Structure 1
Amino acid sequence: MSTPADLDADDLRFAEPNNPYLTAPDTDFTPIERLDADDAEREVALLRAAIREHDHRYYAANDPLIADRTYDALFERLTALEAAFDLDASDSPTRRVGGGTLDELGTVEHAAPMLSIDQSGEADDVREFDARVRREVGDVAYSCEPKFDGLSVEVVYEDGRYVQAATRGDGYEGDDVTEQVRTIRSVPERLGGDPPETLAVRGEVFIPRDAFQDHNRERVEAGKEPFANPRNAAAGTLRQLDLDAVAERPLDCFFYDVLGWDDGEPRDEDGLAPSHPATHLAELEALRSFGLHVNDRAESAADIEAAIDYRDRLGEDREDLNYEIDGVVIKVNDRAACERLGTKARSVRWAFAYKFPARHEVTTVEDVVVQVGRTGRLTPVALLDPVDVGGVTVSRATLHNPDEIESLGVNVGDVVRVKRAGDVIPQVAEVVESHSDTAYAFPDECPACGSAVERDGPLAFCPNGLACPAQAERAVVHYASRGGLDIEGLGEESVEQLREAGLVETLPDLYRLGERREELVELEGWGETSADNLLREVGASREPDLDEFLAALGIHEVGGATARNLARHFGTFAAVRDATEAELVEVDDIGETVAHTVRDFFETEQNARVIDDLLDYVDPQPDETDTGDALDGLTFVFTGSLSTSRSVAQDLVEAHGANATSSVSGNTDYLVIGDSPGTSKRDDAAANDVPEVDEDEFADLLAEYGIDWPPSDED
């Protein structure tokens, strides 16, 4: 722990050396009621400066000055003072803790194009890049740095204050993630040092490997689907609209490039501002001096061979890094030379990414767990002694199904080779060293409810349906999703919270929440408004359209299109529920397998009890599609993009008596071709002598029957 005498003013970015909250701060604070407004403002200013410095020291410099518990005391004091004296500020450290939900992600135009980089894993391609550079600008030196595998963002500062952040998007504009990036503690709200008036920097948002492992373990233990890799986790987090969820994730950010540097002075002949550093490595030092988190593995290389050597050396150290990389980036160091080299349509001419090869690693299977999916499918997962695979710490890998376990001959304690398919998805490739005589014995009972497991070919299922706790929770999530009844406010985390509180066990419990409103209000993060909003949304779902209700039940193989066909064919839920397999097969696009699945779902005793209970609260509305007979007897298949969505076209022809199916057969009368059509349907049409018509011909055909295309709003 540092003492005040140890502090070097040159090392401080955000606070003065005499700030009392930097080292060994006294956390026995004066009671707030004894402070006046001036005293509070002075203390708040000191606390904000100190906390910014502590954030920088902890997250960017890896050199903390105080213990975590002391930091927490300072943060809590600042929060209390801001609330007591109404001293909120947009750049206060307290703004990082999240809070609130955004309606949507806006779009932001970048200060300068965020272009991609040409890349290869071959040294000859790197040397060819060097030859092209030297032909254009002569001999150059290079800067070399890790190629981070995260999510690229642009962050903009004006007069040293954080004002905006955006994802890369198409390179010219991206999603506005200003509030999400604000929660990342390694991204300062204010810059230190002497930054230009406007600074736009490019960074990579990532999740450290150790934090990713811990977070994924928590998700698995909570019954949630783990993230595939740190990059996906970071990208998904940054696009979250729930800022509390973003703040809870362990995001970090490295800054590595300058997109815009404006000091208010005229630019030189290369387009650079007078104070703009002359080299890329000097840029990185400038960013570091401003308090931005800059990686410490950047180096200079006198020529391309030195750059190639850097890549090989970094590859040897890759396992020891706490962040994921998939190669190195080699850049022309001289900024003026970079400006002269310029750019191509989608990439820069002054940088090249030298990729690492995909890697396979060997580790031990510590355990095998069986997860239960929404449809009852049981999926075995190998829990591994953590191993680095392709720069990612992998602690679990799918074993797919019982037959895959038998094929691999894998069991707990075996040494296995793990690969990342496509350098992303962890899989067990083979058993390297077996420590058992037999493969892992797949359980005969569902781990969630104890029901006897049923097999369907290579797959295993729990037959307990909606009465199985694991299936029930996932069923509630699906029921409320956009693919179901679209009940706003009932996402995966909310459902999990309601289940843990004992408020929702099965689908009918959703409609009994009104009887337990006070318990709902008391849940963390809820309150009167949130509870009433949810109850209103649930109430609005009591009379769903029949097709939406069928899709919401989560019957295996019954998505939106199949649900619409069932609704139109049978008209009422009772008719669908009572239909025999023979009657179900008569429905368009339903074969024997799907018919058996539907019949089995409704005949399962546990499902039947839940549905009977659900129907006490929900009244699925009969399908009242106008089945005019103008197109009676005709069958259409659509492929490609139409001027109006294909679902509208399908609804229209079906409303006039035709069939709209998803595959071409000898019974198809017309294949309607839109833009960018698939080849398989056209091949099937040719094989079955089915005539093809484009959208104009389709419109003419409908006109012969007195039907307008595209349909008017009144239709």
Structure 2
Amino acid sequence: MLNSSQKQLIAQAGLNFSHLTESGFCAICRQPDSVESLSDAELVEFLQLANALYRGGEPAVSDADYDFVFLAQLQSRHPEHPLLESVEPEPVFAGKTVDLPVTMLSTDKAYSLEEVERWAARIEKAAQERAMDFAELIIKVTPKLDGYAAYDDGHTLYTRGDGRKGTDITRVFERGLQVANRGERGLGQGEIVVSRTYFDAKLSAFFDNPRNFQASVIKEKELDEHAEQAIKDGAAVFYPFALLPGWQGSWLELRANFNDIVKSIWHTLDYDVDGVILEIVDEALKQYMGATRHHHRWQLAYKENLASAEVRVVDVIPQTSRSGRVTPVAELEPVRLSGALLSRATAHHYKMVLEKGIGPGTLIRLARSGEVIPKIEQVLIAAEPKVPEHCPSCRHELIWDNDYLVCPNNLACPAQIANSMEHFFRVLKNNDGFGAATIKKLYEAGIRRVDEIYALTAAQFEAMGFGPKQSINLVEQLQRSRLEAVEDWRFLAAFGVFRMGLGNCERLLAHYRLSDIFGLSENDIVGVEGFAEKTAAVITEGFAAIKPLFDALLMIGFNLQATQRDASGPSGRPLAGKTLVFTGTLHSGSRDELSKQAKAKGAKVGSSVSAKTDYLVAGENVGATKLNSARDKGVQVISEQEFLELLASEGEQA
């Protein structure tokens, strides 16, 4: 059962046992593998209780189990749950609750290099949008302190609280707490920490763990003699992030030496460190990328969980994801790892299953990652691989897409229906409000086709749980998406036919009218440059599958713009057949608008400069490196005004 201090922390946090009992909570703490049996309400309540106890210095479960088992379980069930998008609150201590000088957010976490690379790709995309050279951006790596988060403005020291309101704990400085490295006050965010060596030698007999000690420094009206001595000895300090040691360099340097850099930074300090923080240092790009309600997009915490075990595979079960990819999940002989009893692991893809020999009887090395289902780290003894031929969700024949097995039956496969509806609205780009959360609610209400969504009234939306104002707005957005002009190739791409993304749809409709595509043969498709024989059959099958929905939506009415099919044009037309790339800040219209105008004149618009690019249309704030690189490739750099003059001359000659 919980001790008196833990019960007090739960009360201070304003929490209670409404879905769980105290004994039930404690039983889950002892058996983390029971997490899958919890209802959503029980899981959320467990996370709230466990967080309050951890941050108050009286943890009931390990930090690893909280991240890797319980929080990951919620993320697996509901990736957009509000709890995942909010700052995990610090407990309330005695003191005045006040608005924080700055918003103190949590940090997004990564548990693998692959996740770090995806973060870097988002940074690169943002840099390109700002016409900045990603290769020249500086990334800083610092230790991730495992202490008590606070903010010092030079006059007041605040707890993080809920990220927007905290508690005044300036008293800790009045008790003699110093800033690390003899630093000055007023350096902003940091953490209250205690020397690990000092804690082990002089405090471990009196405090359960460093976090328990850190909490005592804040919440006790009078310090006990051991805490007081630790402060006098300078073992307990407020460590501003601005004073942390670190590494700085480009992404290429970091990626090439990632493990060595992380290892050296991780072990720099004699304080509890549970990872490293990666962040860009360019203030303008930070401001551009912004933040969610939970974390800054320009920052990432990299954490590791190195526990592993050898275990036998019992079976390999296919699971179809919302994207249509079929993932191999290995059922294992149960093994306890990092406090959790594990019986499943995911392989990366079925090509790995074939190449590594993953099937019943395979001996693998299993390692925990930031997911509920851990991944296979290494195959030690191979066995006969087990690969499915049909989708486990709809029984449609599977096809290979590079390393992955994919179910192309996106409109009728139960595992993919919600994703297909969301994809339609996302690709059209002429509507708001039909994101994942809205589509999920519609799916739960029995909606299975996009045309059914367009038939809904505000009253029907409201009956499904949407608010009155939101319901009216959704109907207005549906009307907007029908009335606003949309390119025919974008409309076709919205149906999600396998291998028919935006580029291929535009390429195909440059040769055939939209109304003709359903009568195309495989040979017709192969005859268009860029289409291979092995995908033509899948595409024609995909067109046949979407035909009923396509016809139903056309009857509703959409404002479709036909693709320009005279791409070669007279030789006197300066843009016909040319490839353009836009960069920098443009003033005569958005990139989408200018791209449409260029395509209407027979031009092609690319996303990146290559040797095949004819013109780089450079707006404002374009780096010299990018311009010189384009010129080195033989690309003609023109200004936005010069581009407009080319458009005008096209109009004069037409």
* TM-score normalized with structure 2 length: 0.53
Given that residues 375 and 556 in structure 1 are in contact (C-alpha distance below 8 angstroms), is that contact kept between their aligned partners in structure 2?
Answer: no
Secondary structure at the aligned position of 1:660 is classed as: strand
CA distance in structure 2 between the partners assigned to 1:391 and 1:203 by the alignment: 31
User: Residue 490 of structure 2 aligns to which amino acid in structure 1?
Assistant: E
CA distance in structure 1 between the partners assigned to 2:24 and 2:378 by the alignment: 45
CA distance in structure 2 between the partners assigned to 1:430 and 1:264 by the alignment: 51
CA distance in structure 2 between the partners assigned to 1:427 and 1:680 by the alignment: 43
- Aligned to 1:692, which of 612, 635, 642? 635
| 1:460 matches 2:427 | no
Secondary structure at the aligned position of 1:381 is classed as: strand
Residues 419 and 642 from structure 1, CA distance in 2 versus in 1: closer, same or farther, beyond 3 angstroms? farther
Q: Which residue of 1 aligns with 2:150?
A: 258
- Aligned to 2:494, which of 530, 533, 552? 552
User: Residue 469 of structure 1 aligns to which amino acid in structure 2?
Assistant: P
- Aligned to 2:385, which of 431, 435, 439? 439
> 1:409 Cα shift?
1.7
* TM-score normalized with structure 1 length: 0.49
CA distance in structure 2 between the partners assigned to 1:429 and 1:337 by the alignment: 39
Given that residues 202 and 255 in structure 1 are in contact (C-alpha distance below 8 angstroms), is that contact kept between their aligned partners in structure 2?
Answer: no
CA distance in structure 2 between the partners assigned to 1:53 and 1:659 by the alignment: 59
Q: Tell me, which stretches of 5 or more residues in structure 2 are unaligned? A: 26-44, 50-61, 68-81, 120-144, 158-169, 181-190, 210-230, 249-264, 276-302
Q: Which residue of 1 aligns with 2:600?
A: 655
CA distance in structure 2 between the partners assigned to 1:495 and 1:616 by the alignment: 22
Q: Which residue of 2 aligns with 1:381?
A: 329
Secondary structure at the aligned position of 1:499 is classed as: helix
- Aligned to 1:621, which of 557, 560, 573? 560
Alignment of 1:511-526 (within 5 A): 511-514=454-457, 520-523=461-464, 525-526=465-466
In the alignment of these two chains, the number of paired residues is 469
> 1:595 Cα shift?
7.4
> 1:631 Cα shift?
2.0
- Aligned to 1:193, which of 94, 108, 113? 94
Q: Which has the greater radius of gyration? A: 1
| 1:418 matches 2:347 | no
> 1:574 Cα shift?
0.8
| 1:359 matches 2:306 | yes
CA distance in structure 2 between the partners assigned to 1:338 and 1:469 by the alignment: 52
Secondary structure at the aligned position of 1:533 is classed as: helix
CA distance in structure 1 between the partners assigned to 2:624 and 2:368 by the alignment: 33
Secondary structure at the aligned position of 2:551 is classed as: helix
Q: Which residue of 1 aligns with 2:415?
A: 470
Deviating more after overlay: 590-599 vs 539-548: 590-599
CA distance in structure 2 between the partners assigned to 1:298 and 1:387 by the alignment: 35
CA distance in structure 2 between the partners assigned to 1:196 and 1:465 by the alignment: 52
> 1:554 Cα shift?
1.2
Secondary structure at the aligned position of 1:541 is classed as: helix
Residues 478 and 203 from structure 1, CA distance in 2 versus in 1: closer, same or farther, beyond 3 angstroms? same
> 1:478 Cα shift?
0.9
CA distance in structure 2 between the partners assigned to 1:206 and 1:670 by the alignment: 41
CA deviation map 1:510-564 (0-9, x unaligned): 23434xx7665433x3354444433333343335622331221112343344445
User: Residue 552 of structure 2 aligns to which amino acid in structure 1?
Assistant: D
> 1:505 Cα shift?
1.9
Q: Which residue of 1 aligns with 2:197?
A: 301
Given that residues 431 and 481 in structure 2 are in contact (C-alpha distance below 8 angstroms), is that contact kept between their aligned partners in structure 1?
Answer: yes
Which is bigger in relative contact order (C-alpha 8 A, separation at least 6)? 2
Residues 452 and 264 from structure 1, CA distance in 2 versus in 1: closer, same or farther, beyond 3 angstroms? closer
CA distance in structure 2 between the partners assigned to 1:301 and 1:258 by the alignment: 23
Given that residues 262 and 273 in structure 1 are in contact (C-alpha distance below 8 angstroms), is that contact kept between their aligned partners in structure 2?
Answer: no
> 1:474 Cα shift?
1.8
Q: Which residue of 1 aligns with 2:137?
A: none
| 1:608 matches 2:547 | yes
> 1:476 Cα shift?
0.9
Q: Identity, % of aligned pairs?
A: 21
Secondary structure at the aligned position of 2:602 is classed as: coil
User: Residue 279 of structure 1 aligns to which amino acid in structure 2?
Assistant: L
User: Residue 399 of structure 1 aligns to which amino acid in structure 2?
Assistant: A
Secondary structure at the aligned position of 2:453 is classed as: helix
Q: Which residue of 2 aligns with 1:451?
A: 396
CA distance in structure 1 between the partners assigned to 2:424 and 2:473 by the alignment: 17
| 1:499 matches 2:397 | no
Alignment of 1:44-59 (within 5 A): 51-52=11-12, 55=15
> 1:633 Cα shift?
4.1
Residues 581 and 666 from structure 1, CA distance in 2 versus in 1: closer, same or farther, beyond 3 angstroms? farther
Given that residues 65 and 338 in structure 2 are in contact (C-alpha distance below 8 angstroms), is that contact kept between their aligned partners in structure 1?
Answer: no
CA deviation map 1:91-134 (0-9, x unaligned): xx9xx99xxxxxxxxxxxxxxxxxxxxxxxxxxxxxxxxxxxxx
CA distance in structure 1 between the partners assigned to 2:245 and 2:88 by the alignment: 35
Given that residues 431 and 477 in structure 2 are in contact (C-alpha distance below 8 angstroms), is that contact kept between their aligned partners in structure 1?
Answer: yes
Secondary structure at the aligned position of 2:428 is classed as: coil
Q: Tell me, which stretches of 5 or more residues in structure 1 are unaligned? A: 15-49, 69-92, 98-145, 152-178, 213-226, 233-252, 266-271, 283-293, 315-330
Given that residues 345 and 375 in structure 2 are in contact (C-alpha distance below 8 angstroms), is that contact kept between their aligned partners in structure 1?
Answer: yes
Q: Which residue of 1 aligns with 2:352?
A: 404
Residues 600 and 521 from structure 1, CA distance in 2 versus in 1: closer, same or farther, beyond 3 angstroms? same
> 1:475 Cα shift?
0.8
Secondary structure at the aligned position of 1:301 is classed as: helix
- Aligned to 1:636, which of 579, 582, 589? 579
> 1:692 Cα shift?
2.1
CA distance in structure 2 between the partners assigned to 1:581 and 1:662 by the alignment: 29
Secondary structure at the aligned position of 1:193 is classed as: coil
CA distance in structure 2 between the partners assigned to 1:201 and 1:334 by the alignment: 28
Residues 184 and 276 from structure 1, CA distance in 2 versus in 1: closer, same or farther, beyond 3 angstroms? same
Alignment of 1:154-193 (within 5 A): 187-188=90-91, 191-193=92-94
User: Residue 421 of structure 2 aligns to which amino acid in structure 1?
Assistant: V
Q: Which residue of 2 aligns with 1:574?
A: 515
CA distance in structure 2 between the partners assigned to 1:337 and 1:537 by the alignment: 51
> 1:608 Cα shift?
2.6
CA distance in structure 2 between the partners assigned to 1:280 and 1:384 by the alignment: 51
CA distance in structure 2 between the partners assigned to 1:182 and 1:398 by the alignment: 26
Q: Which residue of 2 aligns with 1:239?
A: none
Given that residues 611 and 634 in structure 2 are in contact (C-alpha distance below 8 angstroms), is that contact kept between their aligned partners in structure 1?
Answer: no
CA deviation map 1:170-220 (0-9, x unaligned): xxxxxxxxx9799778544xx442459787799885999xxx9xxxxxxxx
Given that residues 640 and 673 in structure 1 are in contact (C-alpha distance below 8 angstroms), is that contact kept between their aligned partners in structure 2?
Answer: yes
| 1:429 matches 2:393 | no
CA deviation map 1:586-645 (0-9, x unaligned): 77x7443697278425543x3333333343334352327798963254422437646466
Given that residues 315 and 332 in structure 2 are in contact (C-alpha distance below 8 angstroms), is that contact kept between their aligned partners in structure 1?
Answer: yes
CA distance in structure 2 between the partners assigned to 1:58 and 1:200 by the alignment: 34
Q: Which residue of 2 aligns with 1:372?
A: 320
Q: Which residue of 2 aligns with 1:540?
A: 480
> 1:394 Cα shift?
7.6
